Structure 1
Amino acid sequence: MVAPAFINPARAASRGAPEFNSTVWAIAFRGNTVYAGGSFTSVKSHGRTYVRKRLVAFDARTGAVLPWNPVAKGTVRALAVAGGSLYAGGDFTEINGLRRSKLARFDSSGKLSRWAPRVSGGVTSLAIGQGRVYAAGQFSSVDGARRGNIVAFRHASGALDRGFRTAADTRVRALAVTRTRLYLGGDFHKVNGTVARRLAAVSTGDGRLIKAFRPVAPATVMDLAVSPSGLSTATGGPGGRAVGYTPAGRVRWTHLFDGDVHTLAVLGRTTYVGGHFDRACKSTSTISQRGCKAGYASRVKLAALDDRGRLTGWNPRANGAIGVQALSADPAHRWVAAGGAFTAIGGSSRERFALFGG
């Protein structure tokens, strides 16, 4: 087992990461820069407060807020980096006073690009792979073309990929991409007209449903992450669960929590878990188990699981009723970032963002 990368909360606080005045919903890394998106309108760093309306960039090593200062009119819920581009998705209608309907792209200098697709509803997830930018959420059309809650664009040109024609019957909350598969998670019950409850895989090229992947998700899938061993999901429902699946959709492991699991990030063979739970089952179970016979261990809003779904000793202890809404991992630096509505980690002030690792 690869040991999880973490530092204790005191060292996390001393890193000087910025603090936010409202929820952080999305995090992305590029080199030493961290991008964050959310509903916040100001950010505090090293005793100074900066106006940053729902988007910010800062130095991961020092916590210094960078000059980049776009203004989003509406919440940013998803971020993704591809080469020199940063993509943002959410509920916003304008960026820097220019119309940007739920999607926007910034170039390597941080300048807002001319890319401006028109999306009929909100975007909650982004994924990038195989020369495409995939966006999902709850919408029925993009640029006037009918699209059922998921769409693909060509990364190089920004053009709508008209050959990718996946459609889900209701909200897609999460995406994860591999070389040949795009995994979808959410509230849906059908994909491309075929029964696929809450979790499915489609071809990265044309969007056709991959029928060899036949999982049975126990509840709404809120997030997805790909590890060397397969797919992991974050779910709500009765209690919360993190579930590991094989490429065929068979359950590898299930870990129970006493509240919804909202978000996942994979670093090496460790899966980091965030949500609004306070306890995690001491044992890994099967998907049919409703209770936790081994009893629970305290894991407040954050936990980590090994490659077999077993609870590790990582226990930074976030707070708040809502807790952690976003996790992101940077393999190059072995960093894990957490965002959400919490205000403390391990009893130390940590307003809605924390960075672990290094």
Structure 2
Amino acid sequence: MMNGSTGRRSGGRGRVRAASLALGLLAGALTATAAGGSPAAALTPPVAITADDLTTWQTNGIVWSMASGDGVVYAGGTFSTLRPPTAAAGTDEQPALNFAAFDATTGAPTGCSLSFTISSGTATVRALALSPDGETLYAGGQFGAVNGIGVSNIAAIDTDTCTVRNSFKIGVSATVRGLAVTDDTVYLAGDFTTVGGQTRSHFAAVTTGASLLPFTANADEVARAVEVTPDGQNVLLGGDFFRINGTNTHALAVVNATTGQLTKSYPGFIHNNSTVQDITTDATGFYTGNEGTGGGVFDGRIALNLSDFEQRWRDTCLGATQAVAVHSGVLYSGSHAHDCVSMGAFPDQPRKHLLAQSVNDPKLLPWFPDTNDGIGEPVGPRVMTGASGGGRDYLWVGGEFTTVNGKPQQGLTRFADGPDTGAPWVPNVSLSTLTPGRIEVNWQTSFDTDDGELTYRIYKDGSNTPVHTTTGYSVFWDRPQLTWTDTDVAPGETHSYRITASDGVNTSAKSPAQSATVAGSTEAYPARVKADGASLYWRYDEGASTFAHDSSGNLNNGFLRNGPAYRQTPAAIAGPSTAIGFNGSSEYAYSNRLHAAPSRFSLETWIKTTSDRGGKIIGFSNLTQQNSTRYDKHVYMRDDGRLVFGVQSGGSRTVTTSGAYNDGKWHHVVATQGPLGQGMTLYVDGQARASNILVSGNENYPGYWRVGGDNLSGWPNRPTSNFFEGQIDETAVYPTTLSSSQVSAHYALRNG
């Protein structure tokens, strides 16, 4: 169970009670399995919290701090009203001045109402922490009174009566941003330089009777997080600082709980432009959430061992982590992560705000509820806390957001350990009949916000009994192609197929029926493409989906973005296949899989256009959902219709056709690069049209194949548009250099 006494910086844990125990880990991540494997579970272990947001009251401003205990969740921040879960801003509001208390199980306000105010400026509650016995709630921030009773940026609240404890009063000179509480001590972190009239720079400790303790851990910059180790012997410090008590240790330090003297320093451990925003612990480790400013900074999470205070792992996702919390061996975090490619996850793209990782492994787990950035800075989530009630465990999240899972919801949301009610996305299906006497059923694996391993069932010809069942693993940035071949068919027969995806509890609707007629003979053109070793082969026969299925047999499927024009006819090649149309402004395709940069390669596709704005036709680049920052190994069309093949090799190296190809006819385009002596060659309609045998290298970076558009900034004769307007068909990528005879043979098969 999640411990119910976590504060803003997860600081409400006492020495007698450590939070977030019962790790219950399963080793390793699940991978795709064959038919007959174990069915998918409702949640993919070790994830034990669903991504389904629950009905929760809202604030009209930012929630900066939370703590919980005895089935109550306390929230503090910068807000003035609450409103019901479905109410729009400005309607059905009730006063709540920077503080509110909620039933952990229902998400509704309790009877505890406190007003935190200040005589000038804006009052805010930045830290909340419960005493280990749950009888006292400590609040820190920037305020001068609670319910009219004078205080100085810190206060103690009797949780039974919801009143200020007059016995706890001490002056703190500036904002308190973090609190941690034991049986007899309250630790403070913040902007202050004096406490109780004595010098304490950004960290301090007072008794539960509000007497200043000799604990001294003076920092040279703002403190943001404070946490007591489960054994009570040390205190974990986080913030912007570069020195504690004059010793170099940037953003993170471990100090003695009694004296404040350094137990462990971390010089050079965290980037100089990065800070520690939050710290949490479990029985064996502590975990930091980090934010950076500028290029090359550190924005992710770090796991460290409590046994020796050394690093266990760190991730390098970019996107300002603000909050961390542990439940059942999983580290949940709030950030605005936008680039986790260095972690083997998604490249730079629109932000994701809630993530999960095993406490023993930084790999991202399949848990992806989401918020927006919201108001304020804005960065989305700012704080997390665990709570229990009604036999369930909850993860509460507060912050700046105004939507949760795409629906209006401001300031607060919560998730539980069940039930899981969200069904996976409906699978995208494409059929292929390249082999006589067979129908290949191909589909893009689905996405579920809290399940990676999904079960797929294939239904044939309207039957309600599946003909095939299998499982596969997918996350939102990696939805690999799965394939099943139906051999129980005969040439000339037409059959239809539908597929469902299930997480073991929730099942998607059946996909729209797709039909195909069984071939009696082999199509010559695709057979030759496959025989010549294509590693990626997109034929664009999909009806209406995000799926470009790969006919090469290598499962290098693609995503189709922004709804291109499907099933365009006549296609480039005679036969039942169709082409795809791109609008020249936003539509394109990209490969699902991240590829190593090829040292030699061939690109092949067919194009038809009358555009005078040019655009990229095919290329290799580092991003998928926005214009790339690294891009070469590409073919683009100039405004005048001439084609350019370019690579980066000590600068931009290009070859250009003398003729134009924006005449509204289908043209076969092949670009190859091989070793010195072969170099670069650009073929059009079976003939070499431009070459440079001296250019054998290209830029080395992992990337994705993109078709239909991407960045062209800095390239010679850059066209008006980055995106190609026209039809494209039969795109193939080869890990080898096609010979001139192979290229001419492909072109000759266009009518066969």
Instruction: Mark the CA change 1:319 to 1:239 in structure 2 (over 3 Å): closer, same or farther.
Output: farther
Matched with 1:272 is: 332
Q: Which amino acid aligns with 1:54?
A: N
Q: Aligned in 2, Cα 1:239/1:301: closer, same or farther, shift over 3 Å?
A: farther
* Aligned: 1:99 with 2:142: no
Partner of 2:643: none
Determine the structure 2 residue equivalent to 1:230: 285
Deviations 1:257-311 (A, max 9, x none): 2311111111131111102224544xxxxxxxxx456544987111011122221
The code of the aligned residue for 1:119 comes to V
CA contact (8 A) 2:252 2:265 kept: no
Residue in 2 that maps onto 1:113: 165
TM-score (norm 1): 0.89
- Partner of residue 191 from structure 2, selected from 131, 138, 161: 138
Residues 6 and 145 of structure 1, relative CA distance in 2, 3 Å threshold: same
Change (3 A) 1:190 1:103: same
Matched-pair contact (CA < 8 Å) for 1:93–1:100: yes
User: Any conservation in 2 of the 1:220–1:235 contact (CA below 8 Å)?
Assistant: yes
Q: 1:130 to 1:33 in 2, by over 3 A?
A: closer
CA contact (8 A) 1:213 1:249 kept: no
TM-aligned CA distance change 1:60 to 1:330, over 3 Å: closer
1:214 positional shift? 6.9
2:395 matched residue in structure 1: 336
130-139 vs 50-59, which moves further: 130-139
CA shift, 1:318, in A, is 1.1
- Number of the residue aligned with 1:81: 130
- Tell me, yes or no, if the aligned pair for 1:45 and 1:63 is still in contact at 8 Å: no
Please tell me the root mean square deviation across aligned C-alpha atoms, in Å: 2.1
Match of 1:199 among 243, 252, 262: 252
1:329 is displaced (CA, Å) by 1.8
Q: Distance in 2 between matches of 1:154 and 1:268?
A: 32
* More deviation, 203-212/141-150: 203-212
How far did 1:49 drift?
2.1
Correspondence for 1:6 among 34, 42, 49: 49
3-state SS, counterpart of residue 200 of structure 1: strand
Contact 2:250 2:266 in 1 (8 A): no
Task: Return the letter of the residue paired with 2:206.
Answer: F
Are 1:253 and 2:313 counterparts? yes
Residue among 296, 299, 303 paired with 1:240: 299
Determine the C-alpha separation between the residues in 1 that align with 2:336 and 2:150: 35
Q: Please name the residue that 1:286 is paired with.
A: none
Secondary structure in 1 matching 2:300: strand
Change (3 A) 1:274 1:241: same
Q: How does 1:161-310 map to 2 (within 5 A)?
A: 161=213, 163-178=214-229, 179-211=232-264, 216-218=269-271, 219-237=274-292, 238=297, 240-247=299-306, 248-281=308-341, 291-292=342-343, 295-296=346-347, 300-307=352-359, 308-310=361-363
Q: In the aligned structure 2, how far is the partner of 1:201 from the partner of 1:215?
A: 15
Q: Indicate the percent of aligned positions where both proteins have the same amino acid.
A: 29
Q: Is the 8 A contact 1:5 1:356 kept in 2?
A: no
Cα distance 1:272–1:215, how it changes in 2: closer, same or farther (>3 A)? farther
Segment drifting more, 96-105 vs 77-86: 96-105
Letter in 2 for 1:246: N
Instruction: Determine whether 1:38 maps to 2:77.
Output: yes
| Larger RCO: 1 or 2 (CA < 8 Å, sep 6+) | 1
> 1:319 aligned to 2:379?
no
SS at match of 2:48: coil
CA distance in 2, matches of 1:164, 1:239: 30
3-state SS in 1 of match to 2:362: coil
- Structure 2 vs 1, CA of residues 342 and 279 (structure 1 numbering), >3 Å: closer, same or farther? farther
Larger radius of gyration: 2
The Cα offsets for residues 168-215 of structure 1, whole Å up to 9 and x where unpaired, read as 112111111112110001111111121111110111112111147777
Q: What does residue 67 of structure 1 align with?
A: 111
* Alpha-carbon contact 2:277-2:288 (below 8 Å) kept: yes
Does structure 2 retain, via aligned residues, the 8 Å contact 1:17–1:60?
no
Specify whether residues 145 and 356 from structure 1 end up closer, same or farther in structure 2 by C-alpha distance, changes over 3 A only.
same
Q: How many equivalent pairs are there?
A: 343
Are the structure 2 counterparts of residues 130 and 200 from structure 1 closer, same or farther at C-alpha, using a change threshold of 3 Å? Answer: farther
Q: Is the 8 A contact 1:45 1:65 kept in 2?
A: no
Task: Indicate the residue corresponding to 1:21 in structure 2.
Answer: 60
- Matches of 1:142 and 1:294, distance apart in 2: 45
| TM-score (normalizing by structure 2) | 0.44
Letter in 2 for 1:338: V
Cα 1:191–1:130, aligned 2, differ >3 Å: closer, same or farther? farther
SS in 2 for 1:240: coil
Whole-Å Cα distance in 1 between the matches of residues 345 and 180 of structure 2? 37
Segments of structure 1 that go 5 or more residues without pairing to the other structure are 282-290
Change (3 A) 1:346 1:58: same
CA distance 1:213–1:278, change in 2 (3 Å) = closer
Name the amino acid aligned to 2:395. V
What 5-or-longer segments of structure 2 have no aligned partner? 1-24, 27-45, 118-122, 418-752
Q: Cα gap change, 1:297/1:59 in structure 2, threshold over 3 Å: closer, same or farther?
A: farther
The separation in 2 between residues aligned to 1:303 and 1:292, in whole angstroms, is 13
